[in-house]
Amino acid sequence: MGLFDKVKSSLAGLRPDYDAVLREQLGEEQHLAHVAVLPSATETDRSGDRPKDLTELAQGAAHRLTDKVVKDRHIGGAEGSIAQSLPRSEDPVMLALAQGSVTVWKFGIGAKSSSPDLLARVPRDEVVSIADTGKRGARGHVRFTFTDESFFDYQTLTAPSPEFWAAAEAFGAA
């Protein structure tokens, strides 16, 4: 094994058994299904970008306008609503459906951590529906609608399992 192979294998690492980790993290609450996602509208930190010339100034304005249009299309609700409180970082996260809640977890760089960070928890009784938006591209889109009439869209990084859709359908029926 060459040096490149050694470095590659040490960086690749094994990903944890997400089912087992989520079951452990959720404790008494029964884990139903999960899927890796990205928020459809991410929050990009552009605060450090100082335009050097008129072109960069115009590009910055175009980026801010695009960010607003995308956010309005994929996140709805007033300030302080459930959807507005969900994390919108550009990092992939794991969305877990459990018996009593929807949770969002960060599994670290490369999604390899066996002790993920809980980013958000929404009680099941605040979720009105979980639906496939029907928008297809490289990824699917899942829309969460909440009791305060807000909504939040996620792009799936992998196709959600049949168990995910069965659990999602049960959320709307509860």
CATH number, position 160: 2.30.29.30
Mean pLDDT throughout 125-136? 84
Which residue range(s) make up the domain with 140? 27-43+52-173
| Residue 105 in this model has a pLDDT that exceeds 90 | yes
The answer to the question of residue 97 being in a domain is yes
Distance between CA atoms of residues 61 and 55, nearest Å: 10
What mean pLDDT, rounded, does the chain reach? 79
The answer to the question of residue 147 being in a domain is yes
At 117, the amino acid letter reads D
Q: With beta carbons less than 8 A apart as the criterion, state whether 102 and 124 touch.
A: yes
Q: Facing residues of 127 across strands?
A: 146
Mean pLDDT throughout 142-171? 90
| Residue 63 in this model has a pLDDT that exceeds 70 | no
Distance between CA atoms of residues 163 and 63, nearest Å: 38
Count: domains in the chain: 1
The answer to the question of residue 121 being in a domain is yes
The answer to the question of residue 14 being in a domain is no
Mean pLDDT throughout 72-101? 85
The answer to the question of residue 22 being in a domain is no
| Residue 34 in this model has a pLDDT that exceeds 70 | yes
Binned at pLDDT 50, 70 and 90, residue 96 comes out as: very high
Q: The whole model's pTM is what?
A: 0.74
Q: What angle (nearest 5°) sits at the alpha carbon of residue 29, between those of residues 23 and 31? A: 45
The answer to the question of residue 119 being in a domain is yes
Binned at pLDDT 50, 70 and 90, residue 138 comes out as: low
The answer to the question of residue 38 being in a domain is yes
The answer to the question of residue 115 being in a domain is yes
Distance between CA atoms of residues 159 and 37, nearest Å: 10
Q: Residue 69: its pLDDT value, please? A: 47
Distance between CA atoms of residues 158 and 76, nearest Å: 24
Residue bearing the bigger pLDDT, 62 or 32:
32
Binned at pLDDT 50, 70 and 90, residue 51 comes out as: low
